[in-house]
Amino acid sequence: MTSDTAIRAAIPAELSATVRSVTLREGVATIVADASGLGRSAAAQLQRELSEAASLVEGVSEVRVALMADKAPRRIIAVGSGKGGVGKSTLTANLAVALAKMGMKVGVVDADIYGPSQATLLNGKGSKLRAEGQTLIPHDSDFGVKFVSMGQLVEPGKAIAWRGPMVGSALGQLMEADWGETELLLVDMPPGTGDVQLTMMQKFKPAGAVVISTPQDLALIDATRAIDLFQQAKIPIVGIVENMAGYLCPHCGEASEPFGHGGAESAAKDIDVPFLGRVPLAMEIRTASDGGQPPAAGTSEVGAPFTQIAARLKDWLEHAG
Ligand SMILES: Nc1ncnc2c1ncn2[C@@H]1O[C@H](COP(=O)(O)OP(=O)(O)OP(=O)(O)O)[C@@H](O)[C@H]1O
């Protein structure tokens, strides 16, 4: 038996299909193995087991394992708003859930250090982040969407005092968590234009940004400012979403428009960015969201606008992104 064959024979049967080549030169065994589709920890385990098996073979003094992986090109979409409370986190969670239902592998990064809410929205309240070494392991939600949140890194209310470098390193940890095969990361950004936005744009370069606003003028001015910032950083704007557009009274059925109507659509036209759709103000959206059941996960009518906007985002990713 040649030494190469001896090494192959020493590799456990269940791992042998991953082995692409084995060479032994002057006591150094080099094994090339295929780790496609494996998450970071499974790939590390494969590397360890191959190395251990080969090191037991006579004449082997050193083992080098090279893993090949078809690294999924993971794309990032930032979901931003000019001001707080306009429904950015609700939109992010529902877009993620709707895209997962369409077959995409989606993760959510809750980078909203001032009001992290994805753990509530994705029914993972109280979930703790695990880590393997320095790498965080995202939480699996009930909706086929993984997530990590600033809220899992710091105690409520503490992050408000963070300064630039701390924000940058926390954001880095979330973005570089063990996302495995996740192909799309939706990032729930804090409102406005602060440290998280700058780090996000400079270091992680999202493929695009979705900006959400309520229809009234003041919110739209802020949203336009957020769009401006993305555009200055050469991040394409996927489009604007109008939230809390019209209110249908659950008691009398009368329709009203507490925040106006159509403002975001005409603002989109004015600044020449796509309009992605409109989500009505609906009590059911708030109660379902607070209860950790994103409307897009169910079959109720209020989930439909989120699904339509998600389909537009998917189309953008397939054609423009
Ligand atoms: N279309 C809607 N109809 C009814 N309630 C909504 C709608 N969109 C969002 N809400 C509610 O408004 C509140 C604020 O929404 P959300 O947390 O998504 O906003 P945000 O922009 O992320 O806010 P923050 O900047 O504070 O994180 C939540 O209670 C949410 O359930």
**Atom of ligand 1 at shortest range from CA of 188:** 22
User: What's the pLDDT at 288?
Assistant: 95
User: What's the pLDDT at 19?
Assistant: 94
Mutate to test the pocket of ligand 1, among 286, 300, 308 (most ligand atoms within 8 A of CB): 286
- Whether 215 is in the pocket of ligand 1, judged by its Cβ within 6 Å, is no
* pTM of the complete model: 0.79
166 versus 231: the higher-pLDDT residue is 231
CB 88 within 8 A of CB 80: yes
- Whether 120 is in the pocket of ligand 1, judged by its Cβ within 6 Å, is no
Q: Given pLDDT bands bounded at 50, 70 and 90, which one contains residue 162?
A: low
User: What's the pLDDT at 45?
Assistant: 92
pLDDT exceeds 60 at position 321: no
- Whether 118 is in the pocket of ligand 1, judged by its Cβ within 6 Å, is no
User: What's the pLDDT at 298?
Assistant: 92
User: What's the pLDDT at 42?
Assistant: 85
- Whether 278 is in the pocket of ligand 1, judged by its Cβ within 6 Å, is no
Q: Which residue has a Cα nearest atom 30 of ligand 1?
A: 286
> Mean pLDDT, to the nearest integer, of 44-70?
92
User: What's the pLDDT at 264?
Assistant: 82
**Which residue segments constitute the domains of the chain, with CATH numbers given?**
3-68 (3.30.300.130), 75-319 (3.40.50.300)
User: What's the pLDDT at 294?
Assistant: 97
- Whether 207 is in the pocket of ligand 1, judged by its Cβ within 6 Å, is no
32 versus 72: the higher-pLDDT residue is 32
- Whether 112 is in the pocket of ligand 1, judged by its Cβ within 6 Å, is yes
Q: Which residue has a Cα nearest atom 2 of ligand 1?
A: 281
User: What's the pLDDT at 92?
Assistant: 98
pLDDT digits (tens, 9 = 90+) for 216-231: 777 678 888 889 999 9
User: What's the pLDDT at 134?
Assistant: 82
Q: Given pLDDT bands bounded at 50, 70 and 90, which one contains residue 157?
A: low
